[in-house]
Copies of this chain bind each other. A is one copy, B any other.
Amino acid sequence: MIEIALLSVSEFGRVRGASLERLARLSLIADICRANTLAMVKRAGSGHLGTSFSAMDIVVYLYHEVLNTLSAGLDNPGRDIYFSSKGHDVPGLYSVLYSLGAIPREKFIRLRRFGGLDGHPDTGIPGIESNSGSLGMGISKGKGMAWAKRHKGWGGRVYVLTGDGEFQEGQNFEALQTAHHQGISNLTVIIDHNKVQSDKPVSEIVDLGDLGGKLGAFGWHVERCDGHDFGQLSAAVGRCREVGDRPQIIIADTIKGRGVSFMEHPQALEDGKGLYPWHAGAPADGPFEQGYAEIVGRIKAAYLAQGLGEPVFERVEPEPQGRERVTLLGEPVSEAAEDRIRAKVSDEYVAKAFGEALLEIAPSRPDLVVLDADLASDCRVRGFENAVADRFIENGIAEQDMVSMAGGLARMGMLPVVNSFAAFLASRANEQIYNNASEKTKIIYALHYAGLIPAGPGKSHQSIRDISLLGALPNMTIVQPCNADETRQVVRWCVEEARENCAIRLIISPSPRVVPLPPAYRLTYGRGAVIRDGKDAVMFAYGPVMLHEALVASELLAERGFGLRVVNMSWLNRFDAAWLADAVRPFERVYVLEDHAPVGGLSDRLRDALHAAGLLDGRRLTTFAVEGWPACGTPPEALGAHGLDGISLAERLAR
């Protein structure tokens, strides 16, 4: 385990107290924040460095030179407000808030941990003014804040940072248009124009063209500057404050990964052979040490040059490993069970199988066309993009346009497979999905990153409502495969056999274990499969994450003589009635384990089907689901917080 250290808050005090030239001071503060950001992302194991670094100078400049936010007080309605619409740059913002004492050390060292700092901004954290993480909402929200300030005469200005790829979202243009019409002038938007999206240049994904010309055509006051030049930033922001009749926008040209040589665009993009490697995720030990040494080297040189001596580092204690004995109802479980619980996750990715299945099917189905919204790597369709380029459509961060485009393709007889994260696709493009469905064409929606896990990115990314959002459509089959083999079968079924629209839920993390299916398992419409037997109760679950927890629960309960049968229920809203009757008949106790909110998921549909068939009388159907807001943290933390890990489930059953 690599050692992590922080430059403490007192260092910022020393720097601010020293008689440094203004720009040198800001530059040094930004580097200290970069070092701390890198350390915290490394410790967290994930987080967005490239964009934290491209935005860092802007954020440091605003908080250390412009905003009265902290001096006025975080509850003062007259405070200046800053927030980032893209949101994934929040590790950088946290480090700036830490530099100002707004976020305490004990929170700061718990990035992406339960009770710590969410992977995307959350207003529950001191200094965070808006939840974000899903793109394109920021200008609209800032407009609302600015409107309220103007209406109430409170004073203070609103500063919203956006990405550049983010400008593929149409909501930005709604807001540009309305904010101008409404004469909002206490709103300044800054575009962190680092030219790189998830892993490719904006110009390759969906080019923004003449960005300044576009923004000017919307009537905004437009500035352009080097976003790493504090002098230019200061001049641009200053000119914006003089504008009294319209909103202002600053295109800040920045460098993704700024401050760590090998993370900087364009070199990093070349090193990655066209894919930018430092958008998300923590660097491995080697690059971490190299990058950290580079930043710290600059800091030390600056300290030396300014006669500040040596910067002081505080070692951050390693995270507790939680090796205490696992207990169930107060008694230790067997070592075998404990090993099972502590086992490393498998190397299976169902999304990988999904991508491979599409690739396999492509030659025999010339109507198949794959659409993506700047998540080709995460959605595992990069292989398809490279191999079947003429049937791959990269549509950028414009989910609504992508879905309606798929509708047009389907009307022309093609079979579109539409990819994005479930949290974005099922909600942002919900009305477009409805519109397409009403034309009775067939479209396959791949809902990636479905469910609670991974829980580090936080509630903008965790999808626990998607089944509810699609369930009331009359012609949508929702299905979630449990392992790679079933994923291939599901994809083939959706392409070859389904007569209506399909939504395929897929987890994005590795499967905790490869969920076992019966030998020669064949996916059958509406039917689940028993994956572990038991005679005392039955649990329906779906997806690799929750089936693993169900299996753990069953294994633990078996040690206490309680037999919990576990059924992989891949079909979330379509059931074979006869099969279902057989599946529940032997049991009085029926459990449903949702990777979803308690409302609108599988259990609502099962309860309905069972009651309609007269099978609920004398039975108890109990739902375990993601209650409330999805917790942020490690998988065990988040599952534990919701009582959905195997041990908690076993406890809840045994009680």
Q: Specify which of B148, B180, B617 is in contact with A413 (CB 8 Å cutoff).
A: B148
Alpha-carbon distance A603/B180, docked complex (angstroms): 45
CB distance from A86 to the nearest CB of B (A): 13
Nearest residue, chain B, Cβ from A170: B170
A408 touches B468 (CB 8 A): no
Within 8 A of B (CB), among A124-159: 124, 129-132, 134, 136-137, 140-149, 151-152, 154
> Which of A202-210, A520-528, A545-553 has 4 or more CB atoms under 8 Å from chain B?
A202-210
User: Please, what's the 1-or-0 string for A80-92, where 1 marks a CB less than 8 Å from any CB in chain B?
Assistant: 0000000000000
Interface centre among A409, A424, A596 (most CB of B within 10 A): A409
Q: List the B side residues contacting A142 at CB < 8 Å.
A: 408
A129 touches B214 (CB 8 A): no
Q: Specify which of B123, B407, B438, B600 is in contact with A471 (CB 8 Å cutoff).
A: B600
User: Please, what's the 1-or-0 string for A386-414, where 1 marks a CB less than 8 Å from any CB in chain B?
Assistant: 00001101011010111111111111111
Q: List the B side residues contacting A469 at CB < 8 Å.
A: 430, 468-469, 472
A621 touches B617 (CB 8 A): no
Tell me if A10 counts as interface (CB < 8 A to partner B).
no
Given that A130-B411, A148-B412, A168-B177 are contacting pairs, would A427 and B431 also be in contact in the complex, using a CB cutoff of 8 Å?
Answer: yes
B430 touches A459 (CB 8 A): no
Alpha-carbon distance A617/B137, docked complex (angstroms): 47
Given that A413-B77, A439-B123 are contacting pairs, would A474 and B407 also be in contact in the complex, using a CB cutoff of 8 Å?
Answer: no
B207 touches A181 (CB 8 A): yes
> Which of A252-260, A299-307, A447-455, A604-612 has 4 or more CB atoms under 8 Å from chain B?
A604-612
Within 8 A of B (CB), among A344-392: 369, 390-391
CB distance from A567 to the nearest CB of B (A): 19
A472 touches B391 (CB 8 A): no
Tell me if A171 counts as interface (CB < 8 A to partner B).
yes
Within 8 A of B (CB), among A414-450: 414, 416, 423-424, 427-428, 430-432, 434-435, 438-440
Nearest residue, chain B, Cβ from A208: B177
Given that A145-B411, A468-B468 are contacting pairs, would A438 and B621 also be in contact in the complex, using a CB cutoff of 8 Å?
Answer: no
Q: List the B side residues contacting A226 at CB < 8 Å.
A: none
User: Please, what's the 1-or-0 string for A609-636, where 1 marks a CB less than 8 Å from any CB in chain B?
Assistant: 0010000111001000001110000000
B409 touches A145 (CB 8 A): yes
Q: Specify which of B209, B439, B597, B617 is in contact with A219 (CB 8 Å cutoff).
A: B209
Tell me if A651 counts as interface (CB < 8 A to partner B).
no
Alpha-carbon distance A474/B597, docked complex (angstroms): 8
Alpha-carbon distance A460/B439, docked complex (angstroms): 11
Q: List the B side residues contacting A182 at CB < 8 Å.
A: 393
CB distance from A245 to the nearest CB of B (A): 14
CB distance from A572 to the nearest CB of B (A): 11
Q: Specify which of B124, B129, B407 is in contact with A141 (CB 8 Å cutoff).
A: B407
CB distance from A221 to the nearest CB of B (A): 14
Q: Show 9 A/B contacts (Cβ-Cβ < 8 Å), sorted by A.
A: A130-B439, A144-B405, A145-B408, A148-B413, A149-B412, A181-B206, A216-B217, A472-B600, A607-B611
- Beyond A130-B408, A182-B393: 9 further Cβ-contacts under 8 Å? A77-B413, A144-B406, A168-B177, A171-B404, A174-B401, A175-B404, A469-B469, A472-B599, A607-B608
